[in-house]
Amino acid sequence: MRVLIVGSGGREHALAWKIARSPLVREVLCLPGNGGTAALGTNLEGSADSVDDVLDAARRHRPDLVVVGPEAPLVAGAVDRLRAEGFSAFGPTAAAAQLEGSKVFSKRFLERHGIPTAPFRAFDDPAAALEHVRTRPVPLVVKADGLAAGKGVAVCTARDEAEAAIREMMIERRFGAAGSTVVIEDCLAGEEASLLVLTDGRRFVPLRAAQDHKRVGDGDTGPNTGGMGAYVPAPVMGDALFGRVLDRVVAPSIAGMAKDGAPFAGCLYVGLMIVGGEPFVLEFNVRFGDPETQPLLVHLEDDLVPALRGVALGALDERPLRWHAGATCCVVMAQRGYPGEYGKGAVIEGLERAGALPDVVVFHAGTRRDARGGTVVAGGRVLGVTARGSDLGAARARAYEAVDLLRWDGAFCRRDIGNRGLGRAAG
């Protein structure tokens, strides 16, 4: 098979790495890919965000399967258009991608189908939103309805913070049209976990539960990011809770989308808050999570390609996937300034030595090859240093061993990835 992967982050490098290892695959193409995917196949010119570029690449290279990584082209209808031209594509249609593309859509969907989530109201009038906040106890969560690159959520511990968030989103239009409508919901206190599920619209196969680290600083401090590290499995999701999440959240979500006439096929990412042992949906993403996909695919023992193809063809084999024993941990190395402004172009050193450590894979996120064959910083999240071990402690020690071999001007990472899981294992 020839497989085209759309996107350029750590998620796409991890997908390319796993897909390239499949005996079914002869060639991997990435649009546009990064410095890591360049070593596994061919990087194509163009933008992952442009549906026209995606179609162009497919027409030109005739892949047997297209895997669309990021949410923007999915929400913009890349899969609909690929299918209309006869291509086999992994990912939801634009109608199903509304689960991530609109928070109002997803909250109403959850409410309609009786799936547990925080109580909420939606507003398209800023005066009404401000008035509502005055009547509600804090903390409160204000969310821009549309896509805002992971930055459209404000967890507000004081009323004036919530008012400021509403003004920023609805009046100053910090996120453009994405903030013209907001969701205001109750704040849930608990432990977060992510469950990613492969589904063809009817049948589904869950991946292992993962835990992400969203804040930029150690001890969960500082601004939210796309994710600074992740590990699998997440000890917070024991067998009983995992089963409850499948019954109470995953099965009704997949059945609900089908019943509503927009069956969801692809990877459904369920972001959960576990409150007193019960799961509540914080958000849906309509794609593989990043960085979660990096440890997940290193931890996966089975070939991923039959499942991807099963999803694309609407004939997913529901047999459980096989996983390695132990745990896998991914530490994101980022560029100084991230998640704000950051500089590009610093030369990364130590990639070969770090990647040669046993059970370590160094995924590239924001990198590119320079003219001299070196690898340079090209994004805020630069590398996803991923290691497998006999347990979480061993996986994490190995990941940090690799981190310490990598350097460039401006590199930083969190030093506490996995702490929560280790605490739980110890307690």
Which positions touch ligand AMP (CB under 6 A)? Answer: 118, 141, 143, 153, 155, 185, 187-188, 192, 214, 271, 282-283
DSSP secondary structure letter of residue 348: P
Which residue stretches of 300-408 are H helix? 305-313, 351-356, 392-403
Min CB(292)–ligand GLY separation in Å: 6
> Min. distance of Cβ 188 from ligand AMP in angstroms?
4
User: Does 212 interact with ligand GLY (rule: CB under 6 A)?
Assistant: yes
Report the C-alpha gap between 163 and 391 in whole angstroms.
45
Q: Which residues 6+ apart lie within 8 Å of 371 measured at CB?
A: none
Q: Which listed option, ligand GLY, ligand AMP, none, makes contact with residue 141 (CB within 5 to 8 Å by class)?
A: ligand AMP
State the Cα–Cα distance between residues 103 and 108, nearest whole angstrom.
8
- What's the CA gap between 275 and 265, in Å, rounded? 29
Minimal distance, residue 426 CB to ligand AMP, in Å: 24
**Residue among 118 and 210 whose Cβ is closer to ligand GLY:** 210
Burial 61-72 (b: 16+ CB within 10 A, else e): eebbbbbbbbbb
Q: Considering CB distances under 5 to 8 angstroms, the limit depending on partner class, which of ligand AMP, ligand GLY, none binds residue 290?
A: ligand GLY
Q: Are 265 and 200 in contact (CB under 8 A)?
A: yes
Paired strand residues for 331: 229, 385
69 forms part of the interface with ligand GLY (CB under 6 A)? no
Answer with the entry of ligand GLY, ligand AMP, none that 387 interacts with (C-beta below 5 to 8 A by kind).
none
Q: Which of ligand AMP, ligand GLY, none interacts with 285 (beta carbon under 5 to 8 A by kind)? A: ligand GLY
- Told to check if 80 binds ligand GLY by CB under 6 A, we report no
Q: Pairing between strand 266-275 and 89-90?
A: unpaired
Which residue, 389, 418, 422, 383, is CA-closest to 403? 383
Q: Does 211 bind ligand GLY (CB under 6 A)?
A: no
Of residues 12, 200, 292, 359, which one binds ligand GLY by CB under 6 A?
A: 292
Smallest distance from ligand AMP to CB 249, Å: 14
**Which residue's CB is nearer to ligand AMP, number 49 or number 192?**
192
Rg over CA atoms, the chain: 21
- 289 interface partner picked from ligand AMP, ligand GLY, none, CB below 5 to 8 A per type: ligand GLY
How do 266-275 and 229-232 pair as beta strands?
Answer: unpaired
Which residues in the 260-289 window bind ligand GLY by CB under 6 A? Answer: 285, 289
Token output for 96: 């199903």
Closest CB to ligand GLY among 36 and 70? 70
CA 254 remoteness from chain centre: 19
Using CA of residue 280, residue 284, residue 287, residue 289, what is the dihedral sign?
A: negative
Nearer of residues 111 and 317 to ligand AMP, judged by Cβ: 111
Residue 399 CB, shortest distance to ligand AMP, in Å, is: 22
- Identify the CA nearest to 203 among candidates 99, 288, 320, 71: 320
Q: Which is nearer to ligand GLY, 78 or 376 (CB)?
A: 78
Give strand pairing partners of 412: 334
Nearer to ligand AMP, 27 or 191 (CB): 191
Q: Which is nearest to 389 in space by CA: 422, 364, 427?
A: 422
Here's the x/- map for ligand GLY, 127-166, by CB under 6 A: it reads as -----------------------x----------------
- Residue 91 touching ligand GLY (CB under 6 A): no
Is 100 a binding residue for ligand GLY by CB under 6 A? The answer is: no
Enumerate binding residues for ligand GLY (CB under 6 A): 150, 212, 226-227, 285, 289-290, 292
